[in-house]
Amino acid sequence: MNSGLVVGSMPTFSEFYRAINSRPPFPWQERLARQVAREEKWPVEIGVPTGLGKTACLDIAIWWLASQADRSPDKRTAPTRIWWLVNRRLLVDSTAAHAESVRQALLNSQSHSIDEEVARVMSAVACRLRALSTGRNSDPLEVIRLRGGIQSRRPSDPSVPSVLLSTLPMFGSRLLFRGYGSSRTMRPIDAALSGTDSLILVDEAHLAKHLVRLVPDLGECTRNVRPLLAGARTRLRVVSLTATGDSLVQDRFNLDTEDEANSIVRQRLDAPKTIRVRRMARVRDVVSGLVQETLSILEQASAPAACLVFANTPATARAVYNKLTSRSGKATDHPPEVVLLTGRTREREAERIRSRILDPVSGIPASRDQASPRERHLIVVATQTLEVGADVDAEFLVTETCGVRALTQRLGRLNRLGRFERAESVYVHAPPLKRKGLQAWPVYGTEPAEVLNQLEKGLDDADTVDVSLRNVAAVLGKPGDDPGRAPQILPGLLWEWVKTTTPPEGEAPVELYFSGISGAVRFVSLIWRAHVPEPEERLWPRATDRETISVPISEVRKALDGDGELRRLKPDGVTVEPAVLEEIQPGDVLILSTDCGLLDEFGWNPSSLLQVVDVSVQTHGVPLHAEALKRLCGVEVADLVNVALGLVPDEEDMDETDQADAVAQIVKMLQSTTAPGWEASEWNEVVTSIRPQVISAAKEVPRLALRAPELSGGISDELDETSLAESAVELEAHGEAVGTFARLIAERIGLSCDLTRIAELAGRLHDLGKSESRFQRWLDPLALSPTLLAKSSTPRHCWEATRKAAGWPSRGRHEALSARLVHRWIRTCEHDLDPGLAELLVHLVISHHGSGRPLIPPSEDNTTGQVSAMIYGNRVEVSANIGRIDWEQPCRFRRLHDDWGPWSLALLEAIVRQADHAVSAGLQAGSGEDH
């Protein structure tokens, strides 16, 4: 238990906020913190205007969690995980940057370079947060940003205080056991960490109405299940953060008179902003209108200034960008800098865009020193990705037709802090499209008609309207957007989704349930590689979120139409399979060759033919493949590659010297060129790190590795690569360590004594199946160990070859044998477990690599051998044939699902599985005294 482990007083919220932000909180921020701590719950909606510090809700959630660290875990009400959701991927995400700054402040709380009072406050909070988690000397707070369609990170275990910044589809798909970017085996863990012990802060929740409604409906589907955690932590708490919310919501938090009396709040509420209307006669004129108004508004500026240009679609934004760069470059000797920003950009390109937009001198961060003059105008052409989450501040703004909420958010980036004496904007209104007898605007339906009417009603003598924060709601009126409907969630449908091991064919797509029928955009993820594996080969290195972008399926099909057979990742996240454009599904990961284009410096561009950079080369070396090298360097080297790999006709004499010479020539060739699309410094860093050594693995492309130690590139549960370690690990010691870690996680999050015991037992017994003789030969090919092993020091690229030599079946699951042994022990030996807990123990063992939901698919196995193990003084022996299916498991899984509910059962699995991951990664569990 945590009670009594934490010493020292808890800082007030005001002290914590000052330590993080170097300024006092606004009155509303301090009042909300007091209310949350007093009532031990959050309001349903927080209706604070944009630009008044809603990001402080993260600070409040972290502070509240730390304030309860001295409670017994079963008395805690503050959730361990804090999710911040937005409806779209953000490239300029001030909330993510703020969360990371809080983490760094907590990590550096003992630094001698910080103020003594700040050190006192941050040390106290860091100590308390560490006391909540299991790992010895763990970070006080983990911050995880889910950027694209592939997830590379998640909280270390369920006890770790975490902030997760995610898009709506990334969170919603995880909640419904179909996590975009999650491998099939990791989906239950991702569901557990999103569906339990979590506070969900939804930024601009009007964009996520269906998710907000889905959460209580899921509760109705599972209302009769047993609670796993104390208080409300078993279920989700969703809080809507919105400047344009529902004023009729009873539990809504608003500004009050104390806020109005604050000078900074008043300055921002009354910051001067005007808007005028420019009507376009035809829809096709909107691009020209946006360009003309942008250039006109900047011509009136007395000094170089910044202008934001909002377009409704990436296609319109790119057309505006192209036209602006063409026209502005001819108009003056000092053309403005023009930047394009959409949500369809890889992290490599996004970093460059962010650096330009947030440059403290030439960019538009809200923190920019206004005393520093600009050398030239800056124009940022953006889609809705800049509407929320971006703390930017411009003097001028031009926007395409949109709805009330979107216009309110866009204007929130104009004179955001009230530091400009004048700030002007233009609303470029185009007529609606006519389809099937209806007139409407893309994205915003019929609402822009009323927006135009309201703006024109408010025009003054100068044909402008005051749209300051204080006035904008009165000017625009109530939002008239209609989110449409979403299908009804039913228990039977939810049951189909939780069957993650063998998902049923033709299952319902999850995105309709959190995005609605009309609002659901079906996305796939794209990655570009110099080497594209053939079907049934494995992608190496594993795909990461830094190299992906998410693009609507419809656009991908249009861009790739006629390109022949595609490649995509199977649900294991490792193996490649052929794909047909008409059959790709949301969440699929497609692998494109770097010479197919479709990507430029600003992201997704279907008309681009430019060579795309393979960012995986920077961390994992160069693929030793003729076609890949040709894509990288434009040189035909097939003969050299064949010699380097020993692939020459039998009649030709060749020795190791010839191979080494061929490798050396390839390395020299790489070092003498700059790959297309790469910056010279980037490429030079890669080629100077190459070592002339070929690394190859079964079903993977050979490669020239880097001099730095090779990163893992992601460990696969499907291929049992979690059985690899830097050095061999004894089976008994590993089981004891995992059992201890699982027990401490269970205690830290507040499980009952019975469930804590089951988690510990499952951790101790989970790898018993590895004692099978073939598996031991796989782990220890030279039979060097005098004891049974749980982990092997075999290099990963030799892993498949040693499996074959040992005779262990392909994709054979050792956990099937572990569960068989535990099941036999329960049936034949004395113990004090009641039947329900005994069933749970078997399930936690059989599911510890993500299978068994509802069963483990069999592998072909003809062995007649036996496997035995000692379980608490009892010798237990069962068949070692893993081709036998445990047909009791589906019914066992269903009973446990009905008893505990989908997310609590997944959380119990996550405790054991993440304890295993932590121990395998070399982490140590800490007792209370370690904190």
Residue with tokens 């026209």, as numbered in its chain: 327
Contact 882, 906 (CB under 8 A): no
Close Cβ partners of 664 (under 8 Å, ≥ 6 residues apart) = 692
Least confident of 61-65, 237-241, 479-483, 660-664: 479-483
> C-alpha angle with apex 606: 601 to 611, nearest 5 degrees?
50
Close Cβ partners of 364 (under 8 Å, ≥ 6 residues apart) = 306, 308, 357, 358, 378, 380, 392, 393, 394
User: pLDDT tens digit string along 663-689?
Assistant: 999 988 888 888 888 989 989 998 889
Provide mean pLDDT across the span 504-532.
86
For 274, the enclosing helix (H) or strand (E) is strand 274-279
Residue 688: exposure state from Cβ atoms within 10 A (0-12, 13-18, ≥19): exposed
For 61, the enclosing helix (H) or strand (E) is helix 56-67
Provide mean pLDDT across the span 388-414.
94
Average pLDDT of the chain to the nearest whole number: 91
Phi, psi for 540 (deg, rounded to 5): -140, 135
**Whether the predicted pLDDT of 709 surpasses 60:** no
Q: In whole angstroms, what is the distance from residue 174 CA to residue 181 CA?
A: 9
Dihedral, 787, 791, 796, 802 alpha carbons, nearest 10: 40
Residue 114: exposure state from Cβ atoms within 10 A (0-12, 13-18, ≥19): middle
Is the bond leading into 854 cis (omega within 30 degrees of zero)?
yes
Q: In whole angstroms, what is the distance from residue 784 CA to residue 134 CA?
A: 34
Phi, psi for 320 (deg, rounded to 5): -65, -45
Relative orientation angle of helices 27-39 and 13-21, to the nearest 10 degrees? 130
**Whether the predicted pLDDT of 5 surpasses 60:** no
User: pLDDT tens digit string along 528-579?
Assistant: 999 999 999 999 888 988 899 989 999 999 999 877 789 999 988 899 999 9
Q: In whole angstroms, what is the distance from residue 584 CA to residue 673 CA?
A: 37
Provide mean pLDDT across the span 389-396.
92
- Return the HEC string of 179-207: CCCCCCCCHHHHHHHHHCCEEEEEECHHH
Q: In whole angstroms, what is the distance from residue 223 CA to residue 216 CA?
A: 10
Q: How many CB atoms lie within 10 A of CB 375?
A: 10
Q: Binning pLDDT at 50, 70 and 90, where does residue 610 land?
A: very high
**Whether the predicted pLDDT of 442 surpasses 50:** yes
Contact 278, 289 (CB under 8 A): yes
**Whether the predicted pLDDT of 654 surpasses 80:** no
3-class DSSP assignment, residue 748 = helix
- Return the HEC string of 357-401: HCCCCCCCECCCCCCCCCCCCEEEEECHHHCCCCCECECEEEEEC
pLDDT for the residue 371? 86
Q: Would residue 918 be called left, alpha or beta, if left means φ above 0 and alpha means ψ between -120 and 50 degrees?
A: alpha
Q: Binning pLDDT at 50, 70 and 90, where does residue 6 land?
A: low
pLDDT for the residue 148? 67
DSSP class of residue 502 equals S
Q: What is the pTM of this model?
A: 0.93
3-class DSSP assignment, residue 261 = coil
Most trustworthy range by pLDDT among 301-310, 474-483, 684-693: 301-310
**Whether the predicted pLDDT of 708 surpasses 70:** no
pLDDT for the residue 515? 87
Q: In whole angstroms, what is the distance from residue 166 CA to residue 99 CA?
A: 13
For residue 441, the cross-strand partners are 445
Is the bond leading into 491 cis (omega within 30 degrees of zero)?
no
Contact 589, 568 (CB under 8 A): yes
> C-alpha angle with apex 616: 173 to 629, nearest 5 degrees?
135
Contact 663, 694 (CB under 8 A): yes
pLDDT for the residue 650? 62
Close Cβ partners of 791 (under 8 Å, ≥ 6 residues apart) = 723, 724, 725, 727, 728, 729, 734, 779, 920
Most trustworthy range by pLDDT among 401-410, 579-588, 634-643: 401-410
Task: Work out the end-to-end distance of the chain between its first and last CA atoms, rounded to an integer number of angstroms.
Answer: 12
Q: How many CB atoms lie within 10 A of CB 597?
A: 19
**Alpha helix ranges (H) inside 196-313:** 209-221, 257-260, 263-269, 286-299
Close Cβ partners of 166 (under 8 Å, ≥ 6 residues apart) = 83, 84, 85, 86, 145, 146
Contact 381, 646 (CB under 8 A): no
pLDDT for the residue 930? 40
Q: In whole angstroms, what is the distance from residue 621 CA to residue 457 CA?
A: 62
Q: In whole angstroms, what is the distance from residue 560 CA to residue 582 CA?
A: 11
* Percent of residues in the chain assigned helix, strand, coil, to nearest 5: 40, 15, 45
User: pLDDT tens digit string along 241-269?
Assistant: 987 766 566 789 999 999 999 999 999 99
**Whether the predicted pLDDT of 88 surpasses 90:** no
In the chain, what percentage of residues exceed pLDDT 70? 95
Provide mean pLDDT across the span 142-170.
88
> C-alpha angle with apex 328: 325 to 332, nearest 5 degrees?
140
**Whether the predicted pLDDT of 519 surpasses 80:** no
